[in-house]
């Protein structure tokens, strides 16, 4: 079968790519242009100063004049803030949840979101819609708005609304819910033991709130949920189709978590 040229030329649009160091190297910029890469993700090492962030973004965009890229960042608050210093940096999700003050969260996050957009960032991989259900889940500590689905839903909804008002795209993560897991997917594929019924009464609630508020993307996580599907979520047509598309009625882009994470290593074993 011959693959249409227009399809080949569009493959790069499916990827969001990062780089090491303070500035993007020339070979990477050439790769962005040649393959028409869909987006850039900035990590903390790429953001030594806010001025450097702006410069890096402008440089990447100059190599993609005909296909404006996603310029993405994980600016969740607390320890997951790629840009440090005011007004970009703000408190962790758990801190706002402890205050139980959604209005305060919206006010503080708005300052950050508006500033991120002014630098040229157009996509924030936030909010975290996971519930904090496992005390051993160190990688989610401070990143979650708590263990109460309705309360978390309020903050998720607020985050999506603020992003939209500020000109940022938002992304709900880590679908379909990482809070009950027992392994850090950065290191290896995680697992959780909930089924469809539990999901509908628990994990679904914050994600549904985010979708109804107008979230632009959903990010899947590298975990297995054997009671729902034996395949890892990242490659599970059943979970993505049944839960995200049918249950949540989400028709926007669904993106994977970082494919360089240890939890993604088993992807190659699927046919």
Total of domains in the chain: 1
Domain contains 251: yes
**Residue 266 pLDDT level (bands cut at 50, 70, 90):** low
The predicted structure's pLDDT at residue 135? 87
Query: Euclidean distance between the first and final Cα of the chain, in Å?
Result: 19
257 is catalytic: yes
Check 74, 154, 216, 257 and give the catalytic one: 257
Domain contains 224: yes
> What mean pLDDT, rounded, does the chain reach?
94
Q: In terms of pLDDT, which residue wins out, 16 or 264?
A: 16
3-state DSSP of 78-121: CCEECCCCCCCCCCCHHHHHHHCCHHHHHHHHHHHHHHHHHHCC
The predicted structure's pLDDT at residue 269? 57
Answer whether 175's CB lies under 8 Å from 219's CB: yes
Domain contains 60: no
**Residue 114 pLDDT level (bands cut at 50, 70, 90):** very high
The predicted structure's pLDDT at residue 95? 97
Query: pLDDT > 70: what percent of the chain?
Result: 94
Answer whether 254's CB lies under 8 Å from 234's CB: no
Residue 155 belongs to a domain with what CATH number? Answer: 3.20.20.300
Residue environment code for 165-186, b if the CB has 16+ CB neighbours within 10 A, otherwise e = ebebbbbbbbbbbbbbbebbbe
The predicted structure's pLDDT at residue 116? 98
Q: Give the structural domain span for 137.
A: 74-261
Domain contains 221: yes
Express each pLDDT in 193-243 by its tens digit.
999 999 999 999 999 999 999 999 999 999 999 999 999 999 999 999 999
Domain contains 22: no
Lowest mean pLDDT among 84-88, 135-139, 167-171, 172-176: 135-139
Domain contains 12: no
Domain contains 235: yes
Domain contains 250: yes
């Amino acid at each position: 079968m011959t693959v249409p040229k227009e399809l080949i030329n569009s493959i790069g649009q499916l990827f969001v790519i990062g780089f090491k160091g303070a500035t993007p190297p020339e070979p990477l910029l050439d790769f962005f242009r040649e393959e028409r890469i869909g987006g850039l993700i900035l990590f903390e090492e790429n953001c030594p100063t806010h001025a450097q962030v702006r410069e890096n973004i402008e440089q990447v965009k100059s190599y993609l004049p005909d296909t404006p890229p996603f310029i993405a960042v994980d600016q969740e608050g607390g320890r997951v803030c790629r840009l440090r210093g005011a007004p970009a940096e703000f408190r962790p999700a758990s801190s706002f949840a402890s205050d139980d003050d959604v209005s305060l969260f919206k006010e503080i996050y708005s300052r950050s979101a508006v500033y991120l957009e002014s630098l040229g960032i157009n996509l924030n991989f936030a909010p975290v819609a996971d519930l904090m259900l496992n005390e051993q889940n160190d990688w989610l500590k401070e990143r979650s708005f708590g263990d109460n689905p309705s309360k978390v839903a309020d903050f998720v909804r607020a985050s999506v609304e603020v992003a939209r008002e500020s000109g940022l795209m938002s992304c709900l993560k880590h679908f379909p819910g990482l809070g009950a897991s027992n392994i850090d997917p950065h290191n290896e594929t995680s697992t959780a033991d909930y089924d469809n019924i539990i999901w509908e009464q628990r994990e679904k609630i914050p994600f549904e709130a985010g979708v109804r508020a107008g979230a632009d993307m959903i990010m899947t996580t590298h975990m297995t949920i054997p009671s729902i599907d034996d395949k890892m979520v990242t490659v599970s047509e059943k979970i993505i189709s049944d839960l995200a598309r049918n249950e949540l009625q989400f028709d926007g882009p669904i993106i994977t978590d970082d494919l360089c994470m240890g939890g993604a290593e088993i992807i190659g074993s699927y046919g």
